[in-house]
Chains A and B, each alone.
Chain A
Amino acid sequence: MHLILYDDKKMNPAKLLILLILLFTPLLSREIRVRPDGEVSTLNAALQLADDGDRIVIDGGVYREAVVVEKSVEIIGLNHPLFDGEGQRQIFIIRAAGVSIRGLTFRNCGISFIEDRSAILIDGAQDCTVENNRFLDNFFAVYLAKSAGARIINNVIRGQAASETSSGNGVHAWYCKDITITGNTISGHRDGIYFEFVQNGLVEKNHSEGNLRYGLHFMFSDRCRYLDNTFRQNGAGVAVMYTKNVEMHHNRFEENWGSAAFGLLLKDITDSEIRSNLFLGNSIGIYAENSNRLEISGNDFLENGWAVKIMSNSMDNHFSGNNFIANSFDVATNSRHNFSRFEKNFWSGYRGYDLDRDGYGDVPFHPVRLFSMMVAQNPPALVMMRSLLVDLLDLAESVFPLLTPETLVDEKPLMRRRP
């Protein structure tokens, strides 16, 4: 760019002005170097010197300071500088808009029961970015409060030992909007990602595994999208509640197994889409209570205890094009009343035939076994599982359905597994 301007034979004033601006831009946005043994040895000192728009580059080393960022700066780590909270302080608080933090490591901010202590708190600041950082053994790692437009990208977030019941969340957002959480790996926290009163968020391509409670947990967070995430082996799976207009596509819910675990717990979720997800090896694939107008289609339910448990207070839900394969129970419900529709799903337990060769079985499939309903109404009855008596009752009920919901039936079950 500069060369082209120099090579130009006619240098007019406008071009000269552009040249001057270009030459001086680096001065307008300065770069401040921080090194443990340098002239500027702490981030706090650098922030004193900095102005809005400056870039602070921090060299490798250990920094033991509590930092409040009130200027709109870019903070970049070289060789993974470590900010150590030594178990006793909130490490970063960001109060200015447009701050970005890249390439740092945060460790051990310590547990506090009075405040929600975190490695980075973004407090009422717009459009901040936290990218490519590492968070080790913090109470909360990234805490977003009343902030819009935040972007949390490609961070590695690892929490404390697994037996700790009083730990905080990996990424915690409270009263936020338009936020993006992408490509993070989160483990060992209470909830991997937690949203409360968040609007219009995007949670994409994250890997949340081995968290104590939920891999993902949100409440009162309308119009959020969850795409291509993996939630594996979290203490209680994923729980989402009191929310409208949720989109969940292409996520994997795997091996959330335990007496209190759900692949996906839906409570008071309405007008939402759950498409093309994988539910593999969970105690309960999807549990839905008081959830209405859900479009649940194209999902794979493999080897779960219960693939779907839907309480009769849920209405107008539509299950289509799902694969139900090798689950202990396909569908359970707690009453004879059913207000949801099942159609064109594949059921590995289906034993019908297709004489007219249209790809759909000619005999409807009843996915609710009498026993699964008995258990939903009265949980201790599950001790009778695999009793000869129960098998006989199931058989009798499938011949003369009296107690299972008449309308919970797939009239057109797929003959082949949907690819």
Chain B
Amino acid sequence: MNTTTVRIIKFEFSDVLRSKWVLIYGLFFFLLTETLFRFGGTSARVMLSLSNVVLIIVPLICIVYGTIYLYNAREFMELMLAQPLRRRSLFGGLYSGLVIPLNLSFLVGVGLPFLLHGVERTAHLQAFSMLLLAGVFLTLIFIALAFLISTAYEDKMKGLGIAILSWLLFSVAYDGVMLSLIYRFSDYPLEKAVIALTLLNPVDLARTLLLMQLDIAALMGYTGAVFELFFGSIMGAAISLAALSLWVICPMWLGLRQFRRKDF
């Protein structure tokens, strides 16, 4: 990372932090977690409710906010590109400058109430870290997708529409296809295919990793046992992590390629 990138990150950082949306984002998570603690009580229950919200809200906010932000930063980008500056550095700077504040406000918003209230069992600590990890990865992935979309489409409204559509695709439509496949092929041994399908969608992967941590595996009978065998193993953890990382890297790489060729 060269010094220009760092300077862009710094600039972006203060710019993003100054915009109230990131603070509202953090405040939302803080208030939600705090409320859940005050009403729900146990840390396990709070994590359960929170995981639902994280899996739905984080991708939605990130992809929408990221897309809007990048369209609005168009002028800034053009200004920067007038300077002797590598496009790659600008791209990296923009990405980091967006991702770091968002993740920070997410981590603080969720983490602070947990610091205040604590967890009942040390086993919950692991589930909690998984929750944070899922949130961070979903932010990285959906901001990367936002970059891809906003560089691919010139028209702001079109880009925004595509952003919301892709969120729907990952959160709802994909699950619909998966569910119908599970029904369609119920005569076959499906466990492995279901694991493969889960790995292909970052939202489903994050959800499954959280489910496994929150002890739902026991409810699944044989399927749960197969899942536990996979996700509980070092190999499974490595593959999950690799799949999540690929979901960050691929859109980033494609976005960067477009960004380089793009004529501003």
Contact = CB atoms under 8 A, between A and B. Distances in A.
Q: Do chains A and B touch in the complex (CB under 8 A)?
A: yes
A326 B251 CA distance: 41
Contacts of A259: 217-222, 224-225, 228
Q: How large is the interface on A (under 10, 10 to 19, 20 to 34, 35 or more residues)?
A: 20 to 34
Given A380-B191, A386-B210, 11 more contacts: A305-B216, A380-B220, A381-B179, A383-B220, A386-B51, A387-B175, A388-B56, A389-B171, A389-B172, A389-B176, A390-B179
Interface string A168-202: 00000000000000000000000000000000000
Interface of A: 257-261, 283, 305-306, 328, 374, 378-390, 392
Most buried by B among A283, A306, A374, A382: A382
Interface in B182-227: 182-183, 186, 190-191, 194, 198, 204, 207-208, 210-211, 215-225, 227
B190 A380 contact: yes
List the 8 closest pairs (A to B, CB-CB), nearest first.
A389-B175, A305-B219, A382-B220, A259-B225, A259-B224, A380-B223, A387-B175, A283-B218
B178 interface: yes
A283 B220 CA distance: 9
A111 to B, nearest CB: 27
B55 interface: yes
A384 B223 contact: no
B194 A380 contact: yes
Contact of B219 (A328, A380, A384, A392): A328
A382 B223 contact: yes
Contacts of A382: 216, 219-220, 223-224
6 contacts: A259-B221, A380-B220, A382-B223, A387-B175, A387-B207, A388-B175
A261 B221 CA distance: 9
Interface in B220-263: 220-225, 227-228
A200 to B, nearest CB: 35
B52 interface: yes
Given A261-B218, A378-B182, A384 B175 contact: yes
Contacts of B171: 387-389
A387 B204 contact: yes
Nearest to B44: A303
A126 to B, nearest CB: 44
Given A259-B228, A378-B182, A386 B207 contact: yes
A257 B175 contact: no
B178 A384 contact: yes
B219 A386 contact: no
Nearest to B173: A389
A170 B169 CA distance: 55
Contacts of A261: 218
Contacts of B215: 257
Contacts of A258: 218
Interface in B51-106: 51-52, 55-56
